[in-house]
A and B are shown apart, each in its own frame.
Chain A
Amino acid sequence: MASTPLTPPAPLRARAANRPRDSISSWPLADRIGYMLCWAAGLSLCLIAGAILLLMFIKGISYLRPELLVESPSAAKDQGGTGGFLDPIEGTLLLTAIGIGLAAPVGVGVATWLNEFQRPAWLARAVESGIEMIAGTPSVVLAIFGLLVFARGSLGFLSQTSAGGAVYGRSFLIAGIMMSLLALPLIVTSTREGLAQIPAHLREASYALGKTKATTIRRVLLPAIRADIASGVTLGIGRIIGDTAIVVILMGGTLQLQGAGGAPLLSTLRGTGSTLTSYVFENSPAGEGNAPQKAYAAAFVLLLTVLALNLAVTRMSSGRAAAAKQP
């Protein structure tokens, strides 16, 4: 008996293939056209994404030199003498750090309050609409708004004040504050989604151990949705890194980091500078620098950064899917 070889069942796929296929040839014409259009749209999206990658890759590789990453930009008549984009890279990192440093705690806090407390109800509704409004506001509008608010005398400590007493209203701090508004809705949304997925009985299990709501949030809920918070933060970082309008308007037209004087870090924070996006903008044929080769190289670095972030989000989401097996 034991020697009888077991024949494995035929693979499901083969069986499926034997079944008559659900062919679209029997569909009405309109449905068939719609189906083909969807199919074509999907395909062309792939082509566009591929083209962006390929072109930027070719241009980037051909123009990117290691020294570009370590040299500061400088003014010169011909493209060869304009230096690299060290300052924009530093600026990107600094601005992202400020933006996320503000948006992450506020976003997680707002989301937790919205999901776990929601009292008073009218305020919760107002906050929800407020977040939606911020999410829908174009960043250039946020930038102008920032200028309006922060160029006041009383807020001069955030930027620089000219000899005549006028407040510039342009600095890393101010741009960072407005950038945090870009990231905030993304962090709030993903945190809320995470909290909403936690079953009620998990909260009750914590209450049943004599824990307060605050302890439950701090020690059970927030740790449980770490992956959601992280993916919100990563999306927020992508948003901040990719924005140009706020940088161009709220950090001045300079490409170099220009401190405001005083203590080293504070000087940079109150000073102006650039990011990779504004560097690309200024150096592209549309800008004034007109060093398109360097714009391509910087754009390539930017693209790589954003792609790496997207990869990180995908990784985290799959981690979340694994964690969500909890009943």
Chain B
Amino acid sequence: MERPANGRRVLAGGVGAPLASPPVAGASRRRVSPSLTEVKERMRLESVSLAYGDRWVVRDVTLGVRRGEVLALIGASGSGKTTLLRSLNRLTEVTAGASRAGAITLDGEEIERLEVTALRRRVSMVFQQPNPFPMSVFENVAYALREEGREGLRGWRRRMGARHELEPAVIDALRRAGLYEEVADDLDHPALRLSGGQQQRLCIARALAAGPEVLLLDEPCSALDPISTATIEELIVGLRESVAIVIVTHNLQQAFRVADHVAFMHLGELVEYGSSEQVFDHPRMPRTRDYIGGAFG
């Protein structure tokens, strides 16, 4: 364990839960040092500010999102972390009155220049509430794979018989999300019959299906029980080799367990950014220290 017990105590004292026996994810993850996987920057945020109407919720954030590591956005409610996350796939545009300044690039290309549907296939997202569509498990994943609009009538007819074409990709996505073994026999069952944790993994499978380069997770475990949370954390750590992952979390222990880098936000500003070890063990800024120590939140 490269992280000494006293390093955890800071955190344990702060959030009031013992970290001495971390769930599976935390323990196994620390063995993989970032140098083992090739780290490559996929997204870059340059002086990004975001506003709803005339209220600024994110101010002047500069950050990099890299494949091969997990970036956690932490901070109190209303610190702008979810808004920042949603701006990465332009989901902020769904909200009326939202505006943005600064540049966000994906593999060097401004995300405004990309077709929004294409962008969202490359920068996928999982939400706080597990939200499978009211269709079968198979269809939930297949939906993400189908390119609508380019098909026309012939494509539509093909879709009727397309199951065998899509099946390998659907199964692969379910495997990557660690769900396939549990649902292999129930692919045609309604997705809403799955447990909460399974539903969330189905949402992750759905998000992975289109082969995104970046996966955004907005508090993906906040509605789940501890065992499902541990399963998903393990999954996140395993996935970072193939996708760049950004996770918003309220749960400091979770950030500590899964993240390689941590960005601490407060009232819309990026207060501190650094490696997980640095931010949790030796926070530079007093506000970070207070937040991690539990002074506010």
Contact = CB atoms under 8 A, between A and B. Distances in A.
Contacts of B133: 202, 205-206, 220, 224
Given A208-B125, A208-B207, A326-B192, A201 B131 contact: yes
B149 A212 contact: yes
Given A215-B148, A219-B143, A327-B223, A205 B134 contact: no
A65 interface: no
A211 B94 contact: no
B119 A210 contact: yes
21 contacts: A201-B128, A202-B133, A204-B94, A204-B127, A205-B125, A205-B127, A205-B131, A205-B206, A208-B120, A208-B124, A209-B207, A210-B120, A210-B121, A210-B144, A211-B120, A211-B148, A214-B149, A219-B143, A223-B134, A327-B129, A327-B223
Contacts of B127: 201, 204-205, 208
A165 interface: no
A77 interface: no
Interface string A196-208: 0001011111111
A88 B223 CA distance: 57
B131 A209 contact: no
A20 B91 CA distance: 56
Given A201-B129, A326-B134, A207 B148 contact: no
A207 B116 CA distance: 9
Contacts of A224: 133-134
Interface string A216-230: 000110011000000
Given A205-B203, A206-B133, 14 more contacts: A199-B131, A205-B131, A207-B120, A208-B120, A208-B207, A209-B124, A210-B119, A215-B149, A219-B143, A220-B134, A323-B134, A325-B192, A326-B134, A327-B130
A212 B150 CA distance: 12
Nearest to B193: A325
Interface in B115-160: 116-121, 124-125, 127-131, 133-135, 143-144, 148-149
A327 B116 CA distance: 27
What 4 A-B pairs come out closest when comparing CB atoms?
A: A210-B121, A208-B125, A210-B120, A210-B117
Interface of B: 89, 91, 94, 116-121, 124-125, 127-131, 133-135, 143-144, 148-149, 192, 203, 206-207, 210, 216, 223
Contact of A209 (B120, B134, B192, B216): B120
A214 B149 CA distance: 9
A223 B91 CA distance: 23
B89 A209 contact: no
A199 B223 CA distance: 15
Interface string A69-83: 000000000000000
- A202, A209, A219, A323: most-surrounded residue (chain B CB, <10 A): A209
A210 B117 CA distance: 4
Contacts of A202: 131, 133
Nearest to B122: A210
Interface string A295-322: 0000000000000000000000000000
Contact of B131 (A219, A223, A327): A327
Contacts of A210: 116-121, 144, 210
A13 to B, nearest CB: 32
A326 B135 CA distance: 12
Interface string A3-37: 00000000000000000000000000000000000
B124 A204 contact: no
Contacts of B216: 208
Contacts of A208: 89, 91, 120, 124-125, 127, 207, 216
B210 A199 contact: no
Nearest to B144: A209
A117 to B, nearest CB: 12
Nearest to B190: A323
Nearest to B127: A201
Contacts of A206: 133, 143
A326 B127 CA distance: 14
A212 B129 CA distance: 21
B91 A209 contact: no
Contacts of A215: 148-149
Contacts of A212: 117, 148-149
A220 B91 CA distance: 18
Contacts of B144: 209-210
A323 B120 CA distance: 28
Given A209-B124, A209-B143, A215-B148, A204 B129 contact: no
- B127, B131, B135, B216: most-surrounded residue (chain A CB, <10 A): B131
A287 B135 CA distance: 53
A162 B117 CA distance: 58
A326 to B, nearest CB: 6
Contacts of B130: 327
Given A223-B135, A327-B223, A209 B148 contact: no
B110 to A, nearest CB: 18
Nearest to A326: B192
Nearest to A219: B143
A201 B220 CA distance: 13
Contacts of B117: 210-212
Nearest to A213: B94
A300 B129 CA distance: 50
A298 B270 CA distance: 76
B209 to A, nearest CB: 8
